[in-house]
Amino acid sequence: MSADLAIETHGMSREFSGVTAVDQVDLAITTGSIYGFLGPNGCGKSTSIRMLTGLLTPSAGEIKVLGENLFGAEERIRRRIGYMTQKFSLYDNLSVLENLEFVARIYGLKRSERRSRLAELLSLYELAGREKQLAGSMSGGQKQRLALAAATLHRPELLFLDEPTSAVDPENRREFWERLFDLCDQGTTILVSTHYMDEAERCHGLAILERGIKRADGSPQQLMDAMNAQVIEVAGEDLRSLKQALVKLPEVLSAAQIGSRLRVLVDRKIADPKRWLTPQVAQRSLISVPPSLEDVFVTCTGGDRHVA
């Protein structure tokens, strides 16, 4: 057990009446980092987070959170973690201030401490002036900031965020990530689940999950470097039929149209993919480009041939 791991799991699994939602997941998440779970809906992201917060009992495997075995120490660990649920879980018929006061009292903050902490959070999360507004009448972005304020009120060492930006517009998402980096800067370890590539790219470390299985783990750069494919973009006419022809080749892992280009992932075994591809694409032009996280995702999950 390394001291600088905030989360460590071995063979973490969970079944729901015969269906395996999470299958033998090993995690080692460094303290002070932002770690992402990337995967489609139903890949086991939420189930994993619920097991790590002690809400679900794993069917098998070991979980260590903040250096302690989770099982049996849930209550002690819960004081040190924060959890922002996927669905807004504060009270719609309480005001911003009333919601935060409730959470502060639950965490045992005394009156003076409470007042200063709430004032701090209200200004930090730009909720000042809205203290009396009912939470139910706020916009998606405001609700999300309120939920983050509530989840971080007791200054948790470890923060879980389950698809925090699913109800938020892109601009608010950028802002939200700035706040996450601020928290990270203060030493908070953050585990965030997402199905957005751009969000995943911001994480220090990343696990790609598919059908409960961890397909890849590492920093975005490591994942891109270790990808078993090279990316060639083809420009020209009639890309739809070219795509149909290319995906039939076993060396082509995926072909997806992006605007007026076709992005082709060629197996790494091919030494010079550009030359190899030239006879296949007739007169069209070829250009070799660096891989993106989406390419990693596509090659990891193998969802290319039937999806794209």
Q: How many CA atoms lie within 13 A of 77 on its CB side?
A: 23
Pairwise CA distance, residues 204 & 219, whole Å: 6
**Binding string, 88-117, against other proteins, x = CB under 8 A?**
xxxxxxx---x--xxx-xxxx---------
Q: Residue 75 interacts with other proteins (CB under 8 A)?
A: yes
Query: Binding residue for other proteins (CB under 8 A) from 78, 195, 211, 284?
Result: 78
Query: Binding residue for other proteins (CB under 8 A) from 4, 11, 57, 305?
Result: 57
- Among 10, 86, 1, 27, CA closest to 205: 27
Q: How many CA atoms lie within 13 A of 272 on its CB side?
A: 4
- Within 120-149, the residues that bind other proteins by CB under 8 A are 134
Which of 11-19's residues contact partners 24+ apart within 8 Å by CB, and which partners? 11/60, 11/61, 11/62, 12/48, 12/51, 12/58, 12/60, 12/61, 12/62, 12/63, 13/58, 13/59, 13/60, 13/61, 13/212, 14/44, 14/47, 14/51, 14/56, 14/58, 14/59, 14/212, 15/59
- Among 271, 207, 273, CA closest to 263: 273
Q: Residue 197 interacts with other proteins (CB under 8 A)?
A: no
**Binding string, 15-54, against other proteins, x = CB under 8 A?**
-----------------------------------x--xx
Stretch that binds other proteins, among 20-28, 72-80, 163-171, 237-245 (CB under 8 A): 72-80
**Residue among 88 and 196 whose Cβ is closer to other proteins:** 88
**Residue among 99 and 301 whose Cβ is closer to other proteins:** 99
- As measured in angstroms, the least distance from the Cβ of 16 to other proteins is 9
Stretch that binds other proteins, among 78-86, 118-126, 164-172, 291-299 (CB under 8 A): 78-86
Number of residues in contact with other proteins under rule CB under 8 A: 32
Q: Residue 167 interacts with other proteins (CB under 8 A)?
A: no
- As measured in angstroms, the least distance from the Cβ of 296 to other proteins is 31
- Within 219-238, the residues that bind other proteins by CB under 8 A are none
Query: Binding residue for other proteins (CB under 8 A) from 6, 63, 64, 83?
Result: 83
Sheet architecture: strand order including 158-162: 81-84, 158-162, 189-194, 34-38, 205-210, 213-218
- As measured in angstroms, the least distance from the Cβ of 209 to other proteins is 19
Q: Residue 276 interacts with other proteins (CB under 8 A)?
A: no
Contact 157, 66 (CB under 8 A): yes
**Residue among 18 and 250 whose Cβ is closer to other proteins:** 18
Q: Residue 71 interacts with other proteins (CB under 8 A)?
A: no
**Residue among 64 and 263 whose Cβ is closer to other proteins:** 64
Binding site for other proteins (CB under 8 A): 50, 53-57, 74-75, 78-79, 81-83, 85, 87-94, 98, 101-103, 105-108, 134, 150
